[in-house]
Structure 1
C-alpha cells in the first residue's frame, strides 16, 4: 500500500465484513506519507512500514516473509473483497491439492462511475471471464499461492521497482517450474480506482505494455492467454491496417473503402466484447467503447513493436561487441 486513502479504508472494511475471516492481515506500507499505515494499525493488521517506496514486488515479498499461513492471498489496496471471496480461495486449494496458485477477476460493478473506469475495469472482467482456466500468469490484485511454491521460486522479482509486470513474471516462473496456476472466474474483487485519460495511458503503456512486451521477448513465444489471445493479436494488425488505409486515402481515395471494410472486420471479430458492453451498460456505452478499444490495440501494438525493435538492437549491439 502506498498512500491508500479512502480506497484503502474500504479495502480494510471489506475484510472486516468477509464471511470467512482471514487468519491474519498483513499490510506493507511502501513509504506512505498520508498515514495509511496508522489506519492499518488501528484495524489490527500486522504492519511493516518502509521509509521510502520500493515497489510492490519488494512490499509483497516482505508481507510474504511475515506471513505464517500456508496460503498467501495477495490483494491490492484499492480493491474490496466480496463476502465469499476468501472462502472461495480456501475451498479452491482444499479441492485441488496439486493447485499451486490461482488468480481471480474484477467484478462487473467497478467502484468509480466515470466512463474510462467503467470501460477499463469491465474489459478486464470480460477478458478474465472468457479466458481459459489454465493460466500462465499470476495477478497481484487478486491472487493466491501456496507459501511453499512462492518461496521455492524466489517470490516476486524486486528489480521491478514500479508497479508493472512483476506478478506476470512470477507466473511465468511458476509455470516453468512445473506449478499449476488456475484462473478461478468466480473469485472476484471490486476495483475502486478512478481512471482518467492520462493516468490510464501512462499505466497501460509504460507500466504494462512496454515491460510486458520486454518480458515476452526475453521469455520466448507468448501464450494464447488473457490479453494475448489470437483475436487480440489479429485486432492489432487490423487496427494498424485500417489506420494506414485511412491516412493513405488522402492520396488514393479507394483506400478509404478498404479502411471501412477492415473496420467492419474489427467489429465482427470483436463482436462478443461489444455485445458484453451493450448488455452491461447499454448501446450508447458500447458505442463509446469501440474507439477506445481500437486505440488500445494501436498503442499496445506500437509498444510491442518498439520493444521488439529495441530488443533486437540490443542483441545486435551485443553480437557486434
Structure 2
C-alpha cells in the first residue's frame, strides 16, 4: 500500500515551512509528497522543491479544489492523503492511515481531527480550533463528510468520482461535497479520532466570520438542500439546531426588553437553556483552558449559532430561487473521460 501526500498551497509562509518540516521528520524519505502551488508570490514552490517534494504549479490562484485535483493526477500512490498547508502531522499520523487502509478493505476514505494544542496562541484561534477538535472527537465513527485538511481516500475512487468540485474557487465546502458524493455512491468514510494534525492558522474576527459565513455556512446550506443530507452529526447535530432557535429567541427577547422590561426574564430563560444544552462544550473548554477561557467562548459560541442560522435561512432562499440546476459533473471527471475518448480514437 503506497500513500501519496497532496498539499495545495497559496503563499504558505512560515506555516507551510512547519508543515514540510513535520513531514520530513515523520515520514520515510521515499514517501511521495506532491505540492501544488496555486499561484502566490512568496516562494512556496522553491521551498517545496528544497524539501524534495514533487511540485506542480498554477500561475494564478484557482482554489484548493483545483489544486488538489491536479495533485491527484500527478500522484502515483494507491491512497491520497490530503493535508492543508497550515497543518503539521504527528509521529503516528501516517502509520495510522496506512494501517487502516491495509487492514480495512471496507474503508474507502477517512478523516482525522485537529489536536487539542492549536499553533496560534491568541484566544480566537484557540477557541475555534479547540471547538473543531471537540466536534470531531464527538462525531460518529462512520462519517458523512470528507475533510480536506486531513483526509485520505483511495485514489481510484477519487478519480472515479471526479475529485473535488472546482467551481469552489476559495477554501469552501468542496470536501463536504466530495463526502456527500462518496456516501451517495455507497462508499464508507471513517472518522478516525486518533489521527491528529496540529492547525497553525491564526484566526482573527474578520477572517473568521468571512470564512465561516460566506465560504462555509452559505454553500453548505445549498449542499444540504441539494443532497438532502440532514444528518445528526458534527456541526449538524440536533442540539445545534435547537441552539439556533434558542439563540434567536434570546436575541428577540433582548431587543423586546427595550420596550417591555419583562422580556428580560424571558431572555434569561433562553440564556439558561442555551447554557444547559451546550454544557458539555463549555465543560470541555474548562478542562482544556480553565474557567476564564470557557466563559470567554460563550459569546463566540452563541454568535456562531446566530450567523449559522442566518446563513441557513439565506442559503435556503438562494437554493430554492436560484441554484437548482442539472446534476453536477466534476471537471476532473470530464478531463479523464476526454482523455479516455481521445485514447480510444488513436
Deviations, residues 231-261 of structure 1 (Å, cap 9, x unaligned): 1111001000110011112222222101101
Offset at residue 160 of structure 1 (A): 1.0
Q: Which residue of 1 aligns with 2:129?
A: 121
Q: Distance in 2 between matches of 1:21 and 1:176?
A: 37
Q: Which residue of 2 aligns with 1:310?
A: 318
Deviations, residues 93-115 of structure 1 (Å, cap 9, x unaligned): 12211100000000000000000
Asked whether 1:186 is paired with 2:194, we answer: yes
Aligned residue among 288, 292, 299 for 2:296: 288
Q: Which residue of 2 aligns with 1:172?
A: 180
Q: Distance in 2 between matches of 1:21 and 1:123?
A: 34
- 2:143 partner SS: coil
Deviations, residues 248-275 of structure 1 (Å, cap 9, x unaligned): 1222222210110111011011000000
> How many residues get paired?
316
Offset at residue 20 of structure 1 (A): 5.3
- 2:26 partner SS: coil
Deviations, residues 269-294 of structure 1 (Å, cap 9, x unaligned): 10000000000000000000001100
Offset at residue 311 of structure 1 (A): 2.4
Q: Which residue of 1 aligns with 2:261?
A: 253
Aligned residue among 202, 211, 223 for 1:215: 223
Q: Which residue of 1 aligns with 2:107?
A: 99
Q: Distance in 2 between matches of 1:118 and 1:197?
A: 13
Q: Distance in 1 between matches of 2:112 and 2:68?
A: 18
Aligned residue among 141, 149, 159 for 1:133: 141
Offset at residue 150 of structure 1 (A): 0.6
Q: Which residue of 1 aligns with 2:213?
A: 205
Q: Which residue of 2 aligns with 1:25?
A: 33
Q: Distance in 2 between matches of 1:80 and 1:152?
A: 29
Offset at residue 315 of structure 1 (A): 7.6
Stretch moving more, 136-145 or 14-23: 14-23
Q: Distance in 1 between matches of 2:164 and 2:255?
A: 44
Offset at residue 310 of structure 1 (A): 2.4
Q: Which consecutive unaligned segments of at least 5 residues does structure 1 have?
A: 317-321
Q: Which residue of 2 aligns with 1:273?
A: 281
- 1:218 partner SS: helix
Deviations, residues 115-172 of structure 1 (Å, cap 9, x unaligned): 0000000000000001111111000000000011111111111111111000000000
Offset at residue 55 of structure 1 (A): 0.6
Offset at residue 19 of structure 1 (A): 5.3
Q: Distance in 2 between matches of 1:37 and 1:221?
A: 38
Aligned residue among 237, 258, 265 for 1:229: 237
Moved over 4 A (4+): 19-22
What's the TM-score once normalised by structure 2's chain length? Answer: 0.89
What's the TM-score once normalised by structure 1's chain length? Answer: 0.96
Q: Distance in 2 between matches of 1:21 and 1:306?
A: 49
Q: Distance in 2 between matches of 1:299 and 1:94?
A: 42
Counterpart contact for 1:21–1:86, Cα < 8 Å: no
Offset at residue 314 of structure 1 (A): 3.1
Aligned residue among 93, 98, 102 for 1:90: 98
Q: Which residue of 2 aligns with 1:319?
A: none
Offset at residue 188 of structure 1 (A): 0.6
